[in-house]
């Protein structure tokens, strides 16, 4: 039965919302549409027409509204998006633009419904609502939402909402990503889902009040007009659509479209992934421990733990679980569930869901666990969420890495991506600008960083960022309108990219000269202690960063004498700034600071990070390494120490010397590595000593991170103790004040309610397996050429952009099997670059490398059968990363897992000391073969 | 005798369009000859003239105006076959072409791929990194010198480039649009060096050529001028000489992005990088003017795209930083929105959602599955039209290509109809309907998005595929009129012939209008305009046109102070610098362009750039005038055509376009065939041919 069409809906919104949630819980389908989608199947053309008009209306509204904005990040960087929602607040369709907010606005609408806004303050035709409260449904205060209801003949039939990222939000520190607030009360303008207008006009008191709350009222005001104009235009389009098709058809269409979105996402998972469990923990840092401008309780170094576990369920749904996440803190990087959903949405729309038909259907295919009290779901009305991207960006590297593992196993090698880079160092500040005006800036050239390496080619250099695939660094001349700083240069930053057989995308840097102001504060916002991401299959993570600012310089003396001044810093080991300019230099790895005053003539360096690599660096084409040195992508010293490539005086790789050097490197690895179990025992002892007096202690931030995770999550604590064979009462002895606050605050609350996601226990039947049409098939030769990097770029892009072929797994498996050096083995599942799950002649199913080493049963962590080397001192770090761009070994060690036969590097873990070895991929092999492929294993 | 000639030299065919003094016209076609374009041009002309039984020798001397548009320059750029260029940029920005702007890694991609980050890629630089030279020195945005120019570095850089044997040197320094002193000095130093060395490599200063804010698009435009436009200048010179040798007395002009034509001697030839699609819009504006229409929607369907533009009050809107071939440029260009929906667009059913998708990629010139020689395996919109009987398999491109109906039917059944659970014709009809609905909405959205309604606009339809779908994409939209010229297929070339002979010069000037200080702004405006006007006059004088024949149009781009988006405001020519009337015009325009609620007068006003368009008179085509007839139109044949899923096939009369006479009405359902295009008149619509040989499509009920 298709309940959406046949039962009369309740007239009250809160009842409608309850009904929708109940329908989903009880049937597992949106709006209870478990069966045929009548409109879609009986009138496929009409269905499509309605869709294209709805979406067209949103795109038009956005394009028109864009022109009203004054904000460069809205106008030039597209930080504007509109969406249409059902009466219950589920998104139906959305415009182009930054689409992270599609679900956040859904949460805001549902909040208004649940809180009874229908009665008070009333939801009437022409009303305008605004929200920027992240606990209600937002990422952070800077993302401001305008929401208007759509009524037909007095009946509410939906909502249109629009969001912009406002450039200045009136927080305790200037800019839109404030890193200074330590509580909610410093996050700036706060509008917790309020009615701000009626009869399509804004209330004057709201307009005046908001303008008084920011350092840059003009931007706020124009952005608000932008959103309102777009919402009204989009509403008009929906109204005219309803005029043409009728309310009932329209509402049925909305429900079917969302259910169709849910089914499509399941079909994508079913077609492109492998059921199983994926783990890729990620970390982030908040280093305010030496920041004298902070109150004492916030003057702490924090390490964030994102124990990302992704599960693809046997019935083709996606689960994201952050059980074990560390606690919220007195800083501005805390997240709400809405922010987490936003991050997930951004990531999926760049990978599995890159199309224009996405809507909340995907949301209903995903189950999440964001543990209450953790940084990912802080639940504390007093916690600051001014700059959650600082945690979101790192943590979602784990999701990307997990998806890549799955895409490779399934043969979709063209979609594999290693983790991307962090947007840092962000240039942000405020003061009196060169026009003599009060000003605040956030430089959004941070939307271009290095992407992760691909499976057959290097990562995309200096382009997109995780939070905006359509990244752009803008024009120097346009930034110089708003910023009292002159560009002295913008250039490729060497050795930012994570090394690998294919390296990550490179980062870049800009050097700025403070100019035309006597008072402007800037802050440094970046990472330096930890790498944020790990690489993929032996690739290293991208480098960390540093700050290099110089105050009271002799810049103008240099210029007056026409003497060289710096235009970049380049390789920090041979810093150009250091070489050419004198002054009070801040040249260190303290990359997070509160705003500090700068004056004309001072220098500020903004280095952007690079993405992580794929595969063992000593398998990289020597010519590519030589080209990287020549092109300034790699500092020469690291060509030998990481890649084992000897570059001759002519700049070309010396192949004979390279071969010798690489053989040496393999021997060095052999000497430096230990069998897993020996490493495990030593490490275990080190950890156990924490519980004893006089034992060596990890860095306080690391201890606190573990203590928080273990106190917040008994199950994670148990797993931790189990892994290291620790006593049942083992705990890190660190104060965790925010955990205690959460415990008190959350006591007695319904855990499900704290997750705020409708759930269902109903298992849906698997999507249909579909044969590949002749038009979409990719034959073995083509796929092999793709894998070997021999396919022309244009053809690769065609494959990436086209529909995915249903036979891919078998095509890929045949290639892998044919290349497998042991014909007696039956390859069951590709596992990485050198690893496969194979069935041995004995019938055992094991993980085995192409060197012939058997790592053990495929259900166990293969790393137990590997040789391990841990880089935990500066000297070892400097073999991989440049000085001032390497992780701090007290915070972050680099673990390398080698093949015991030929010492090929199989995996790099970038984790804090004491972290369990990550079991990255546990496939449900039998389910996959039997239920997904339709044949026995 | 022909008076006006225009060429559109595409990648495969060169069209020529000749008009005589009565407005009669002929269209000629010939293979494009990339190695020496003049051969293609001449054969195309001969082909056209043969229809009038005139030889080139006798016809050429009577031609007074000749316009060229072509894709050779764009191809040179896209295929990276330009000159060896060296660049001198602000020190520290030598990586301009490696870093690009992030957006150049996804420009021009479909929406899905713009999201799909793994498809993004950098452009191959036009200049290798070692020929990108930085020189220290900095100006700020006010044009003040923050750091003097390091002239020794300039000398060293220029010496290295000249030693390297570059064929051109591009100079683009930060903020040079505000103060060109540093760039000029670089130019002088290079000139001194060249004098010493006895070389004469051309030097291109960004502040001289394209002085607009935005360093990266300015660099791109200047670079393309040196890299691709310079070689094209030689090509065009050859064309001009060939014309003259053939007896022509006119100087060949080239269609430029701003909607006017410029001399091949112009120093800003990169403006002609894109000209074909501009031609159509200019032609529509010309027709609208001739017919006394204030507002028009221009729509053009080719094989790959649906192009839309608006004419408002007789003016075309201009984009300041368009992108072409994944390059962001600062060449003011007629605003045309291009949607990936043409007659060659592929039709597929998404296997994941089982939902139909049209485009955005297309079979293009390879037509569809109906043409086996094209090698296309995926159904295209043309295949659907054939299946429905709307196209004639024997008369496609005038019979030059024979289409295979059975092959198309089979493909449509397998790929589209079966997955949707529909019959072949039902599916084809539904998808064409959806296609037209999407086009209809796209066109309407342009109008609605600017705050107008369709009744304020007349829709012009042209391009080879337009007439086939115009009935569908204007259905029920409520336009004041729907116009289909009988020369729709040659409309771009026609439009080129209609373009003014005009130069456009733009210059960034940031002028905030502070109440009480209007006279300061007015003084600055006068000064800025006079510099540009001088350049305009100079451009004509160089081509032998005396200053008194040059007329000037002064414009500014204005915005609410602080807003990023600006709109173009033409000055009142009686007193162009009157700030009050500029503000009034800005407010009027703003209110017309954007939806209510956007007006923000409390922010104050700012001028962002000034522009001058300098024009000289040229002869343009006159419209044909034919005597009206009372006789009913005579069909040449009839065939069953599907017009809707519900009605099934209807026996439909087919007319030959040349046989339809002015004054006759074709009542739908009907098909009007011409060698280059097919007009479909759906049931309930009537196409009436007016005295200018233009069809007006209206609802039958209106009659």
Task: Tell me the per-residue pLDDT of A365-383, one tens digit each, with 9 for 90 and over.
Answer: 999 999 999 999 999 999 9
- Closest partner CB to A478 (pick from B111, B147, B214): B214
Distance CA A117, CA A193 (A): 10
Cβ contact, residue pair A354, B115, below 8 Å: yes
- Closest partner CB to B597 (pick from A228, A415, A516): A228
Which chain A residues are Cβ-neighbours of B565 within 8 angstroms? 66-69, 75
Q: How many CB pairs under 8 A join A and B?
A: 275
Q: pLDDT at position A756, please?
A: 79
pLDDT 10s digits, A538-581 = 999 999 999 999 999 999 999 999 999 999 999 999 999 999 99
Which chain A residues are Cβ-neighbours of B475 within 8 angstroms? none
Q: Which residue has the higher pLDDT, A98 or B186?
A: B186
SS3 for B360?
strand
Cβ contact, residue pair A61, B136, below 8 Å: no
Backbone phi and psi for residue B412, each to the nearest 5 degrees, phi listed first: -65, -40
Look at strands A547-551 and A584-588 and give their pairing: antiparallel
DSSP H stretches of helix in B291-357 = none
What average pLDDT does the segment A486-503 reach? 98
Cβ contact, residue pair A356, B112, below 8 Å: yes
* Alpha carbon B67 to chain centroid, angstroms: 15
Task: Give the pLDDT band of residue A774 (cuts 50, 70, 90).
Answer: low
Structural contact between residues A520 and A664, judged by C-beta atoms closer than 8 angstroms: no
pLDDT 10s digits, A619-668 = 999 999 999 999 999 999 999 999 999 999 999 999 999 999 999 999 99
Structural contact between residues B382 and B343, judged by C-beta atoms closer than 8 angstroms: yes
> How many Cα atoms occupy the beta-carbon half-sphere of B485 within 13 Å?
26
Cβ contact, residue pair B377, A434, below 8 Å: no
- Closest partner CB to A229 (pick from B112, B119, B597): B597
Which chain B residues are Cβ-neighbours of A559 within 8 angstroms? 136, 146-148
- Percent of chain A predicted with pLDDT > 70: 98
Distance CA A327, CA B179 (A): 54
Q: pLDDT at position B594, please?
A: 64
> Does the pLDDT value for residue B559 go beyond 80?
yes
Q: pLDDT at position B597, please?
A: 55
Q: pLDDT at position A5, please?
A: 45
What average pLDDT does the segment B649-671 reach? 96
Cβ contact, residue pair B102, A264, below 8 Å: no
Q: pLDDT at position B445, please?
A: 87
Q: pLDDT at position A531, please?
A: 95
Task: Give the pLDDT band of residue A71 (cuts 50, 70, 90).
Answer: confident
How near does any CA of chain B get to the CA of A471, in Å? 6
How near does any CA of chain A get to the CA of B544, in Å? 38
Q: pLDDT at position B35, please?
A: 78
Specify the DSSP class assigned to residue B544.
Answer: T
Interface test with A, best of B91, B102, B178, B368 (most A CBs within 10 A): B102
Specify the DSSP class assigned to residue B631.
Answer: S
Backbone phi and psi for residue B334, each to the nearest 5 degrees, phi listed first: -55, 130
pLDDT 10s digits, B685-703 = 999 999 999 999 998 764 4
Q: pLDDT at position B701, please?
A: 60
Cβ contact, residue pair A67, B442, below 8 Å: no
Report long-range pairs for B43-51 (Cβ below 8 Å, ≥24 apart).
B43/B14, B44/B7, B44/B14, B44/B15, B44/B16, B45/B5, B45/B16, B45/B18, B47/B16, B48/B16, B48/B17, B48/B18, B49/B2, B49/B18, B51/B26
Cβ contact, residue pair A68, B565, below 8 Å: yes
How near does any CA of chain B get to the CA of A61, in Å? 7
> Does the pLDDT value for residue A72 go beyond 90?
no
Q: Which of residues 281-320 of B touch A (CB under 8 A)?
A: none
pLDDT 10s digits, B622-659 = 898 999 999 999 999 999 999 999 999 999 999 999 99
Q: Which residue has the higher pLDDT, A193 or A10?
A: A193
Cβ contact, residue pair A491, B216, below 8 Å: no
Q: pLDDT at position A317, please?
A: 95
Q: pLDDT at position A797, please?
A: 93
Residue-averaged pLDDT of chain B: 91
Distance CA B305, CA A238 (A): 26
> Does the pLDDT value for residue B595 go beyond 80?
no
Which chain A residues are Cβ-neighbours of B140 within 8 angstroms? 434, 480, 486, 515-516
Cβ contact, residue pair B106, A470, below 8 Å: yes
Cα dihedral across residues B45, B47, B52, B54: positive or negative:
positive
Distance CA B323, CA A212 (A): 39
Per-residue CA distances from B425 to A666, A840, B414 (Å)? 66, 55, 12
Q: Which of A171, A178, A168 minimizes the C-alpha distance to A217?
A: A168
> For residue B523, how many other CB atoms are within 10 A of its CB?
11
Q: Which of A388, A380, A277, A296 minimizes the C-alpha distance to A341?
A: A388
SS3 for A561?
coil
* Closest alpha carbon within chain B to A463: B102
Cβ contact, residue pair B597, A477, below 8 Å: no
Look at strands B65-70 and B253-255 and give their pairing: parallel
Cβ contact, residue pair A75, B564, below 8 Å: yes
* Strand order through the sheet with A194-198: A91-94, A80-85, A155-165, A143-152, A128-131, A194-198, A201-202
Residue-by-residue DSSP string for B504-536: EEEEEEEEEE-TT-HHHHHHHHHHHHHHHHHHH
Backbone phi and psi for residue B544, each to the nearest 5 degrees, phi listed first: 85, 15
Task: Give the pLDDT band of residue B590 (cuts 50, 70, 90).
Answer: confident
Per-residue CA distances from A143 to A81, A126, A167, A392 (Å)? 11, 23, 9, 15
Q: Which of B502, B509, B514 minimizes the C-alpha distance to B528?
A: B509
- Percent of chain B predicted with pLDDT > 90: 66
Cβ contact, residue pair B213, A478, below 8 Å: yes
How near does any CA of chain A get to the CA of B501, in Å? 31
Q: Which of residues 377-396 of B touch A (CB under 8 A)?
A: 377-378
Cβ contact, residue pair A559, B430, below 8 Å: no
Q: Which of A123, A92, A88, A121 minimizes the C-alpha distance to A107?
A: A88
* Alpha carbon B357 to chain centroid, angstroms: 27
Distance CA A49, CA B356 (A): 10
Interface test with B, best of A433, A440, A488 (most B CBs within 10 A): A488
Q: Which residue has the higher pLDDT, B590 or B100?
A: B100
Q: pLDDT at position B598, please?
A: 63
Cβ contact, residue pair A472, B101, below 8 Å: yes
Cβ contact, residue pair B111, A268, below 8 Å: no
Distance CA A496, CA A479 (A): 24
Distance CA B291, CA B273 (A): 30
The lowest-confidence range among A641-655, A762-776, B48-62, B324-338 is: A762-776
Which chain B residues are Cβ-neighbours of A220 within 8 angstroms? none
How near does any CA of chain B get to the CA of A916, in Å? 31
Cβ contact, residue pair A52, B441, below 8 Å: yes
The lowest-confidence range among A61-65, A72-76, A609-613, A667-671 is: A72-76
Report long-range pairs for B515-524 (Cβ below 8 Å, ≥24 apart).
B515/B604, B518/B579, B518/B580, B521/B579, B521/B607, B522/B577, B522/B578, B522/B579, B523/B577
Distance CA A344, CA A377 (A): 14
> How many Cα atoms occupy the beta-carbon half-sphere of B141 within 13 Å?
27
Structural contact between residues A30 and A57, judged by C-beta atoms closer than 8 angstroms: no
> For residue B460, how many other CB atoms are within 10 A of its CB?
32
- Closest partner CB to A56 (pick from B115, B177, B445): B445
Q: pLDDT at position B703, please?
A: 43
Q: pLDDT at position B573, please?
A: 85
How near does any CA of chain B get to the CA of A435, in Å? 10
> Does the pLDDT value for residue A255 go beyond 60?
yes
> Does the pLDDT value for residue B680 go beyond 80?
yes
Cβ contact, residue pair B353, A357, below 8 Å: yes
Which chain B residues are Cβ-neighbours of A237 within 8 angstroms? 448
Q: Which of B384, B460, B396, B397 minimizes the C-alpha distance to B642?
A: B384
Interface test with B, best of A40, A42, A45, A776 (most B CBs within 10 A): A45
Distance CA A17, CA A194 (A): 20
Residue-averaged pLDDT of chain A: 94
ipTM, 2 decimals?
Answer: 0.96
Cβ contact, residue pair B141, A480, below 8 Å: yes
Cβ contact, residue pair B355, A357, below 8 Å: yes
């Amino acid at each position: 039965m298709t309940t959406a069409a046949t039962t009369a809906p309740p007239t009250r919104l809160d009842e409608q919302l309850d009904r929708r949630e109940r329908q989903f819980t009880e049937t597992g389908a949106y709006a209870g549409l478990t069966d045929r989608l009548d409109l879609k199947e009986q009138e496929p053309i009409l269905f499509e027409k309605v869709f294209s008009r709805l979406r067209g209306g949103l795109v038009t509204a956005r394009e028109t509204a864009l022109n009203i904005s004054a904000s460069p990040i809205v106008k030039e960087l597209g930080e504007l998006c509109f969406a249409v929602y059902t009466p219950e607040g589920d998104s139906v369709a959305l415009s182009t633009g930054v689409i992270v907010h599609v679900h956040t606005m859904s949460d805001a609408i549902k909040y208004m419904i649940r809180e009874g806004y229908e009665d008070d303050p009333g939801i009437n035709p022409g009303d305008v609502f605004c929200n920027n409260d992240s606990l209600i449904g937002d990422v952070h205060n800077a993302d401001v939402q305008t929401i208007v209801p759509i009524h037909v003949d007095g009946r509410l039939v939906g909502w249109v909402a629009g969001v912009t990222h406002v450039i200045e939000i009136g927080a305790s520190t200037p800019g839109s990503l404030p890193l200074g607030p330590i509580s909610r009360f410093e996050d700036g303008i706060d509008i917790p889902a309020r009615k701000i207008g009626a009869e399509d006009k804004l209330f004057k008191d709201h307009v005046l009040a908001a303008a008084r709350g920011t350092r840059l009222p003009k931007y706020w005001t124009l952005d608000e007009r932008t959103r309102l104009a777009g919402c009204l235009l989009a509403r008009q389009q929906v109204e005219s659509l309803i005029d043409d098709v009728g309310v009932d058809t329209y509402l049925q269409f909305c429900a079917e479209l969302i259910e169709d979105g849910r089914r499509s996402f399941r079909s994508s998972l079913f077609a492109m992934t492998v059921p199983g469990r994926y783990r890729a923990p990620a970390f982030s840092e908040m280093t305010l421990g030496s920041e004298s401008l902070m109150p004492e309780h916030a003057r702490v170094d924090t390490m964030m733990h994102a124990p990302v576990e992704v599960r693809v369920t046997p019935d083709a749904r996606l689960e994201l679980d952050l059980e074990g996440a560390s606690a919220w803190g007195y800083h501005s990087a805390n997240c709400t569930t809405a922010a987490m959903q936003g991050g997930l949405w951004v990531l999926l729309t760049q990978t599995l869901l890159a199309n224009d038909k996405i809507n909340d259907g995907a949301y209903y295919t995903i189950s999440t666990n964001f543990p209450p009290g953790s940084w990912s779901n802080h639940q504390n009305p007093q916690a600051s969420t001014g700059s959650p991207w600082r945690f979101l960006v790192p943590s979602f590297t784990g999701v990307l890495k997990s998806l890549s593992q799955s895409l490779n196993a399934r043969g979709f090698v063209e979609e594999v991506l290693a983790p991307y880079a962090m947007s840092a160092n962000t240039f942000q500040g405020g003061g009196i600008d060169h026009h003599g005006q009060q000003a605040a800036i956030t430089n959004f050239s941070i939307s271009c960083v290095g992407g992760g390496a691909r499976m057959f080619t290097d990562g995309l250099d200096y382009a997109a960022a995780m939070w905006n695939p359509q990244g752009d660094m803008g024009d120097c001349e346009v930034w110089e309108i708003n910023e009292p700083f002159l560009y002295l240069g913008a250039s490729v930053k060497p050795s930012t990219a994570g090394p690998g057989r294919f390296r990550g995308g490179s980062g870049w840097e800009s050097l700025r000269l403070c100019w035309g102001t006597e008072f402007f504060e800037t802050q440094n916002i970046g990472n330096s202690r930890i790498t944020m991401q790990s690489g993929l299959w032996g690739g290293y993570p991208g480098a960390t960063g540093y700050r290099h600012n110089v105050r009271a310089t002799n810049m103008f003396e240099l210029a007056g004498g026409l003497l060289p001044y710096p235009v970049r810093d380049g390789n920090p080991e041979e810093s150009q700034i250091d070489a050419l300019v004198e002054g009070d230099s801040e040249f260190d790895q303290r990359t997070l600071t509160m705003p500090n005053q700068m004056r004309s003539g001072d220098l500020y360096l903004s280095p952007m990070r690079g993405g992580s690599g794929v595969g063992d660096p000593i398998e990289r084409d020597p010519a590519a390494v030589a080209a990287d040195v020549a092109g300034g992508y790699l500092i020469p010293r690291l060509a030998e120490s990481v890649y084992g490539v000897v570059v001759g005086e002519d700049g070309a790789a010396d192949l004979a010397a390279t071969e010798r050097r690489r053989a040496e490197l393999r021997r060095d690895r052999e000497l430096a590595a230990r069998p897993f179990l020996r490493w495990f025992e030593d490490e275990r002892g080190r950890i156990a000593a924490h519980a004893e007096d006089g034992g060596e202690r990890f860095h306080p931030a690391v201890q606190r991170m573990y203590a928080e995770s273990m106190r917040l999550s008994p199950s994670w604590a148990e797993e931790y103790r189990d892994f290291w064979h620790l006593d049942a009462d083992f705990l890190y002895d660190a104060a965790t004040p925010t955990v205690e606050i959460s415990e008190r605050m959350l006591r007695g609350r319904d855990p499900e309610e704290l997750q705020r996601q409708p759930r269902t226990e109903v298992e849906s039947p698997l999507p249909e397996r579909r044969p590949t049409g002749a038009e979409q098939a990719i034959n073995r030769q083509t796929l092999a050429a793709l894998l070997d990097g021999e396919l022309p770029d244009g053809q690769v892009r065609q494959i990436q952009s086209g529909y995915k072929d249903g036979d891919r797994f078998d095509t890929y498996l045949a290639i892998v099997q044919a290349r497998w050096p042991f014909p007696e083995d039956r390859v069951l599942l590709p596992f990485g670059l050198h690893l496969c799950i194979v069935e041995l002649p004995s019938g055992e199913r094991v993980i085995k490398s192409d060197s012939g080493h058997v790592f053990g049963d495929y259900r166990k962590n293969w790393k137990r059968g590997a040789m391990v080397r841990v880089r935990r001192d500066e000297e070892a770090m400097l073999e991989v990363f440049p000085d001032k761009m390497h992780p701090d070994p007290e915070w972050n060690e680099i673990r390398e897992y080698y093949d015991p036969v030929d010492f090929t590097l199989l995996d790099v873990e970038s984790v804090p000391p004491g972290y369990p070895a990550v079991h990255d991929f546990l496939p449900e092999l039998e389910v996959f073969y039997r239920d997904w492929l339709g044949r026995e294993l | 005798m022909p008076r006006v000639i225009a060429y559109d030299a595409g990648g495969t065919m060169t069209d020529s369009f000749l008009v005589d003094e009565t407005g009669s016209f002929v269209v000629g076609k010939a293979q494009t000859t990339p190695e020496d374009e003049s051969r293609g041009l001449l054969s195309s002309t001969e082909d056209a003239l043969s229809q009038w039984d005139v030889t080139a020798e006798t016809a050429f001397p009577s031609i007074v105006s000749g316009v060229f548009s072509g894709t050779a320059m764009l191809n040179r750029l896209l295929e990276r076959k330009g000159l060896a260029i060296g660049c001198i940029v602000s020190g520290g920005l030598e990586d301009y072409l490696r870093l690009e702007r992030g957006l150049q890694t996804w420009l021009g991609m479909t929406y899905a791929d713009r999201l799909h980050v793994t498809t993004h890629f950098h452009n191959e630089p036009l200049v290798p990194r070692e020929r990108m030279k930085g020189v220290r020195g900095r100006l700020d945005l006010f044009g003040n010198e923050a750091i003097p120019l390091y002239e020794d570095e300039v000398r060293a850089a220029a010496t290295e480039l000249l030693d390297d044997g570059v064929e051109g040197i591009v100079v683009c320094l930060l903020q040079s649009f505000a103060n060109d002193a540093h760039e000029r000095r670089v130019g002088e130093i290079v000139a001194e060096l060249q004098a010493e060395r006895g070389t004469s490599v051309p030097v291109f200063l960004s502040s001289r050529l394209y002085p607009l804010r935005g360093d990266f698009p300015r660099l791109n435009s200047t670079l393309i001028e040196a890299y691709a436009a310079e070689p094209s200048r030689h090509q065009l010179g050859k064309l001009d000489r060939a014309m003259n040798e053939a007896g022509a007395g006119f100087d060949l002009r080239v269609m430029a992005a701003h909607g006017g034509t410029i001399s091949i001697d112009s120093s800003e030839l990169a403006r002609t990088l894109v000209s074909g699609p501009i031609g159509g819009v200019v032609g529509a504006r010309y027709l609208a003017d001739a017919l006394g229409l204030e507002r028009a929607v221009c729509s053009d369907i080719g094989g790959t795209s649906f192009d839309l533009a608006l004419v408002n009050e007789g003016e075309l809107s201009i984009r300041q930083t368009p992108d072409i071939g994944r390059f962001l440029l600062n060449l003011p260009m007629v605003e045309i929105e291009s949607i990936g929906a043409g007659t060659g667009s592929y039709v597929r059913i998404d296997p994941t959602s089982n939902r139909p998708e049209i485009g955005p990629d297309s079979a293009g010139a390879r037509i569809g599955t109906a043409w086996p020689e094209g090698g296309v395996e995926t159904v295209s919109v043309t295949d659907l039209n054939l299946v429905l009987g709307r196209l004639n398999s024997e008369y496609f491109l005038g019979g030059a290509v024979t289409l295979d109906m059975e092959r198309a039917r089979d493909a449509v059944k397998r790929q589209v109809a079966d997955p949707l659970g529909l019959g072949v014709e039902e599916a084809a009809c539904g998808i064409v309907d959806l296609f037209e609905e999407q086009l209809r909405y796209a066109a309407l959205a342009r109008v609605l998005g600017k705050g107008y309604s369709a009744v304020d606009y007349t829709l012009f339809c042209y391009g080879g595929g337009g007439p086939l779908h115009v009935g569908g994409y204007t259905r029920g939209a409520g336009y004041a009129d729907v116009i289909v010229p009988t020369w729709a297929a040659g409309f771009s070339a026609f439009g080129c012939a209609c373009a003014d002979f005009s130069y456009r010069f733009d210059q960034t000037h940031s002028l905030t209008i502070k109440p009480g200080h209007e006279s300061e702004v007015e003084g600055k405006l006068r000064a800025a305009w006079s510099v540009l006007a001088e350049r305009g006059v100079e451009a004509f004088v160089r081509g032998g046109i005396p200053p008194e024949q040059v007329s000037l149009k002064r414009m500014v781009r204005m915005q609410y102070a602080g807003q990023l988006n600006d709109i173009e405001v033409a000055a009142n020519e009686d007193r162009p610098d009157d700030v009050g009337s500029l503000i009034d015009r800005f407010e009027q325009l703003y209110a017309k362009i954007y939806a209510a609620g956007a007006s923000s007068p409390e922010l104050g006003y700012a001028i962002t750039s000034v522009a001058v368009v300098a024009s000289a008179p040229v002869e343009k085509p006159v419209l044909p005038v034919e005597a009206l007839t009372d006789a009913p139109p005579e069909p040449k044949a009839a065939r069953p055509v599907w017009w809707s899923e519900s009605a099934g096939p209807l026996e439909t009369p087919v007319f030959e376009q040349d046989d339809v006479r002015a004054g006759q009405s074709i009542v739908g359902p009907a098909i009007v065939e011409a060698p280059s295009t097919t007009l479909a008149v759906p049931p309930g619509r009537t196409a009436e041919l007016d005295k200018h040989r233009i069809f007006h499509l209206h609802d039958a009920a209106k009659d």
